[in-house]
Amino acid sequence: MSVFTTVSSDDLAPFLKRYSLGQLVDIKGIAAGVTNTNYFVTTTHGKYVLTLFETLRADELPYYVNLMVHLGQHGIAIAAPIANLSGEYIDELNGKPTLLVPCLPGAVTDSPNAAQCAQVGEMLAQMHLAAASYSGQMANPRGPQWWSATAHDMYPFMGEAEAALLHAEVQLQSQHKFDQLPRGVIHADLFRDNALMNGDLVGGFIDFYYACNDILLYDLAITLNDWCVLPDGDIDAERAQAMLAGYQSVRPLTTDEVADWPIMLRAAALRFWVSRLLDFHKPAAGEMTFAKDPGHFQRVIEHHKQRSDFWLS
Among 13, 107, 132, 259, binds a copy of itself (CB under 8 A): 132
Question: Which residues does 78 contact at the CB level (< 8 Å), separation at least 6?
Answer: 68, 71, 72, 104, 204, 205, 206, 208
Long-range contacts of 32-37 (CB under 8 A, 24+ apart): 32/2, 32/193, 33/2, 33/207, 34/2, 34/287, 34/288, 34/289, 34/290, 35/2, 35/209, 36/2, 36/4, 36/209, 37/2, 37/3, 37/4, 37/5, 37/7, 37/96
Phi, psi of 245 (to 5 degrees): -65, -40
**Per-residue x/- mask for a copy of itself, residues 153 to 182, rule CB under 8 A?**
------------------------------
Q: Number of residues in contact with a copy of itself, rule: CB under 8 A?
A: 36
Among 22, 29, 141, 252, binds a copy of itself (CB under 8 A): 22
Comparing CB distances to a copy of itself, the nearer of 211 and 268 is: 211
For residue 41, give the 3-state DSSP assignment: strand
Q: Which of residues 72-131 bind a copy of itself (CB under 8 A)?
A: 73-77, 80, 82-87, 100, 102, 119, 122-123, 126-127, 129-130
Q: State in angstroms the smallest separation of the CB of 4 from a copy of itself.
A: 25
Q: Which of residues 245-284 bind a copy of itself (CB under 8 A)?
A: 249
Beta strands in the chain (DSSP E): 24-29, 37-43, 47-52, 91-93, 96-102, 183-186, 195-198, 201-205, 212-215
Comparing CB distances to a copy of itself, the nearer of 182 and 262 is: 182
Among 1, 6, 14, 23, binds a copy of itself (CB under 8 A): 23
Q: State in angstroms the smallest separation of the CB of 259 from a copy of itself.
A: 27
Q: Which of residues 178-217 bind a copy of itself (CB under 8 A)?
A: 201-202
Residues at the interface with a copy of itself (CB under 8 A): 19-23, 44-46, 48, 69, 73-77, 80, 82-87, 100, 102, 119, 122-123, 126-127, 129-130, 132-133, 201-202, 249
